[in-house]
Homo-oligomer: A and B are copies of this chain.
Amino acid sequence: MHSADQKDKKAYLTIEDIAALAGVSKSTVSRVLNNSGFVSDATRKKVMRVVSSHHYVPNGFARDLGRTTTKSIGIFVGDISNQYFSEILAGAEAVISRSAYFPFICLVSNARREEFYIREMLKRRVSGVLFASTGIYNPDMITQLLQTTSAISIQTDIPGIPYIDCDNLGGTYRIIQHLISLGHERIAFINSFGETSVLEHRYQGYCNALSDHGISLNPQYVRRADRTSNGYQAVIDLLNLPEPPTAIHCCNDHIAMSAYQALRSRGISIPHQISLTGFDALSPTLLMEPQLTTVSQPLHKMGTTAAEMLIAKIEASQPLPDPSSPILFPTEILLRGSTAPPSVIL
């Protein structure tokens, strides 16, 4: 019952099979494959001929088993049908694969999925993890994962790891300021569900802008999108107010798109009756009529930067000192068609 037994229909050739076919030892094959040198040209050619004619590919597990690093990185992202996530992911993934790391793309839409992927990352001994979901479902498991792995996060609040963000507060402040400069005073704010620092900062930007311009905050105008209607219902509720707002700012474009639908369904004209603004500058907002005035943040760039920083951290011989404060990217106000002075008749 030798290993050469014809009856074991082994799916994959091993390095030993190649060695036998080439008439050398498996260490020689290994040396050829890894360009370790100390192989005569004749032997190299002989081995390579066998390797390529049989399309031999070394088993990655066996290889990693002996190594100290796996050269792989887990990327945790939320719902990728949301362009916000797909944009960050595209940036991060490009850098990671170009750096010869393997990206494990982890789609975490709920606690169970997050748990599944954390376990897998643990089992697979990833060198690093990049968080770009909106929040964390299993903090204890994350803590455990962080004990053996380098990490970085984008707009995700995880204590103890470097944090990349954009200027949420400033961006929101300036777009609210823009609305105020147009003459709006009844400005609503639709927040997302969840309790993240990103949302807090955006809300703070709204509050600061109002108070800096002597406008008192009306709690009626502060709403939360719910998970099912995603801002649609919040707009309907705002419209039913005895004194509805003249402008609505949504904390992100995803919600602004739902808000847009709600306004249209009520026959409200944008911007003449109500001004609408968002945050993120997702490309579908260009399809709106009028196009959405929004705040842009460099999502793709944030993804690439996060990946680069993570790889630097992984490859550093000394543990790098983590930046004490978050790395903030600038935002830009995109003035498009969805804002105008408030209608006089209201």
Report how far A144 CA is from B13 CA in the complex, Å.
13
Q: Mark A212-255, 1 if CB is under 8 A from B, else 0.
A: 00000000000000000000000000000000000000000000
Residues of B within 8 A of A62 (CB): 61, 65
Docked-complex contact A60 and B261, CB < 8 angstroms: no
Query: When A11-B148, A12-B148 are in contact, do A60 and B107 touch as well, CB less than 8 Å?
Result: no
Contact of A104 among B79, B104, B107, B286 (CB under 8 A): B104
Q: How far is the CA of A59 from the CA of B125 in the complex (A)?
A: 7
From A65, A120, A287, name the one whose CB has the most chain B CB atoms within 10 angstroms: A287
Contact B148 A58 (CB under 8 A): no
Contact B90 A107 (CB under 8 A): yes
Interface contact B102-A105, CB-CB below 8 Å? no
In chain A, residues 252-276, which have Cβ atoms closer than 8 Å to a Cβ of chain B? 257, 260-261, 264
Q: Which residue of B lies closest to A56 (CB)?
A: B122
A93 on interface, CB distance cutoff 8 Å? yes
Q: List residues of chain B with CB within 8 A of the CB of A58.
A: 123
CB-CB contacts below 8 Å: A76-105 with B: 79-81, 83, 86-87, 89-90, 93, 97, 102, 104-105
Contact with B along A105-126 (1 / 0, CB 8 A): 1010000010011011011110
Residues of chain B within 8 A (CB-CB) of A148 are 11-12
- How far, in angstroms, from A147 to B93 measured CA to CA in the complex? 28
**Cβ of A312 under 8 Å from chain B:** no
A315 contacts the other chain (Cβ, under 8 Å)? no
Whole-angstrom distance between the Cβ of A31 and the nearest chain B Cβ: 18
- Grouping DSSP codes into helix (H, G, I), strand (E, B) and loop, the A interface class, with mixed when no group exceeds half, is helix
Which of B64, B102, B122, B286 contacts A261, CB < 8 Å? B286
Residues of B within 8 A of A119 (CB): 57
A65 neighbours in B (Cβ, 8 Å): 59, 61-62, 65
Report the bound CA distance from A63 to B122 in whole Å.
13
> What is the CA–CA distance of A155 and B144 in the complex, to the nearest angstrom?
41
Quick check: A113 and B97 within 8 Å, CB to CB? yes
Which positions 160-175 of chain A face chain B at CB distance < 8 Å?
none
A60 touches B97 (CB 8 A): no
The answer for the CA separation of A55 and B142 in the assembled complex, in Å, is: 12
With both beta carbons as reference points, the residue of chain B lying nearest to A66 in the complex is identified as B61
Alpha-carbon distance A117/B59, docked complex (angstroms): 15
Q: Using Cβ atoms and an 8 Å threshold, which residues of chain B touch A283?
A: 81
A3 to chain B: closest CB distance in Å? Answer: 15
A289 at the interface (CB under 8 A from B): yes
Q: Pick the contact of A64 from B61, B83, B144 — CB < 8 Å?
A: B61
Q: How far is the CA of A285 from the CA of B58 in the complex (A)?
A: 47
Interface check A288, CB cutoff 8 A: yes
Nearest 7 interchain pairs by C-beta: A60-B123, A284-B284, A105-B105, A61-B61, A289-B289, A57-B122, A81-B86
Q: Which residues of A does B touch, CB under 8 Å? A: 11-12, 55, 57-65, 68, 70, 79-81, 83, 86-87, 89-90, 93, 97, 102, 104-105, 107, 113, 116-117, 119-120, 122-125, 144, 147-148, 257, 260-261, 264, 283-289
Beyond A59-B123, A79-B90, A81-B87, 9 additional contacts (C-beta under 8 Å) are: A11-B148, A59-B125, A61-B70, A61-B125, A62-B65, A105-B107, A257-B287, A261-B286, A287-B288
